């Protein structure tokens, strides 16, 4: 059976059924429906051949060429699909819900699969992603200078049942010159948006959503403009940890990395710190004076944070006295302050 379904029905079905993306490996690697499996009807080279044929010889010749390229692989498609969906129920999409997904749906249908085919394909899904970011949420921001433990407080809020989205976790980046250390490669901007939309749509708009304070860019990915603008207008709970606590926090998180990696990241700050200050920082690093190295870097990061803070409406900034408090205590304090 082949069921042609709209995006809302497809999303609902995808909560329990595997998803097969039949686009080329190149398309899939750039961005896809989260958790999808790639079972390409055409590989990258074959897709290029069909595209060139269509351009120079028209649609009918391109379709025939496509069948010439894939016809002998039908059995392999079925074998791979059985590994993905042994119960023979699966969701399928291509770029526009056209020939590629229809061919795959037909092949799997003949093998006894029940196939849910996304009308409009991945393109329709992308429209849904961007429309999802239009949904307003009751955002509250966790702010604070570098090393104040914002991410850990976010985790504690999640543990006690608060709605949170870890933007840095989705971006595979901690949002500084050192943010890529220990992280997997960053997704494309498009894939970041796809993953974010899947969480954004599940947030109850009648309850608080906690986000960590971020710049517009997290490494190489960009926060969607609609969400970033809302973040800038939201109340910010500014965690005020002591300088010593912040230095110790950073030393614990980054002191585990190879000195050459820390050297490379420090050099990224040369234009902003100046050559002399950067070299002084590197000298401290190689002298194994980690805390002095961190102190010097914080001179730059603190100035940057204060400048960003000044761009906000001061009436939306709530001080959170956090000295000598652990992350769990700070999370509970945030909840107390938001209810005042």
Active site residues: 94
Please list, in sequence order, all residues whose beta carbon lies within 8 angstroms of the beta carbon of residue 199, skipping any fewer than 6 positions away.
165, 170
CA distances (Å), origin 140, targets 61, 132, 282: 56, 19, 37
Residue closest to 208 by CA, chosen among 170, 154, 171? 154
**Hey, what's the torsion of the CAs at 102, 103, 109, 114, to 10 degrees?**
-40
Tell me the residue ranges of DSSP E strands in 145-212: 163-164, 208-212
Report in angstroms the alpha-carbon separations of 49 from 61, 103, 141, 157, 219. 11, 18, 50, 52, 36
Contact between 290 and 301 (Cβ < 8 Å): no
Selection from 293, 295, 289, 299 nearest residue 280 by Cα: 293
d(CA 165, CA 155): 9
């Amino acid at each position: 059976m082949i069921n042609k379904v709209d995006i809302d029905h497809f999303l609902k079905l995808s909560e329990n059924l595997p998803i097969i993306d039949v686009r080329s490996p190149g398309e899939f690697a750039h961005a896809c429906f989260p958790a999808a499996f790639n079972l390409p009807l055409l590989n990258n080279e074959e897709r290029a051949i069909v595209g060139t044929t269509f351009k120079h010889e028209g649609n009918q010749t391109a379709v025939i060429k496509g069948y010439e390229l894939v016809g002998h692989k039908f059995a392999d498609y079925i074998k791979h699909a059985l590994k993905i969906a042994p119960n023979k129920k699966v969701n399928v999409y291509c770029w526009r819900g056209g020939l590629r997904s229809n061919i795959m749906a037909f092949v799997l249908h003949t093998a006894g699969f029940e196939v849910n085919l996304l009308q409009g394909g991945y393109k329709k899904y992308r429209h849904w992603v961007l429309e999802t970011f239009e949904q307003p949420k009751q955002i509250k921001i966790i702010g604070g200078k570098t090393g104040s433990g914002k991410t850990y407080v976010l985790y504690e809020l999640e543990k006690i049942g608060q709605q949170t989205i870890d933007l840095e976790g989705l971006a595979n980046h901690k949002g500084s010159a050192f943010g890529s250390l220990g992280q997997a490669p960053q997704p494309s901007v498009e894939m970041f948006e796809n993953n974010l939309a899947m969480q954004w749509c599940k947030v109850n708009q009648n309850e608080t959503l906690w986000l960590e304070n971020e710049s517009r860019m997290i490494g190489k990915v960009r926060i969607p403009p609609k969400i970033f603008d809302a973040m800038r207008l939201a109340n910010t709970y500014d965690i005020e940890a002591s300088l010593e606590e912040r230095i110790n926090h950073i030393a614990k998180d980054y002191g585990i990395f190879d000195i050459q990696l820390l050297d490379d990241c420090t050099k990224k700050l040369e234009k902003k710190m100046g050559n002399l200050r950067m070299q002084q920082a590197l000298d401290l690093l190689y002298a194994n004076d980690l805390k002095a190295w961190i102190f010097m870097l914080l001179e730059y990061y603190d100035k940057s944070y204060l400048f960003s803070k000044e761009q906000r409406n001061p009436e939306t900034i709530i001080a959170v006295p956090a000295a000598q408090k652990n992350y769990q205590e700070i999370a509970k304090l945030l909840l107390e302050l938001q209810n005042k």
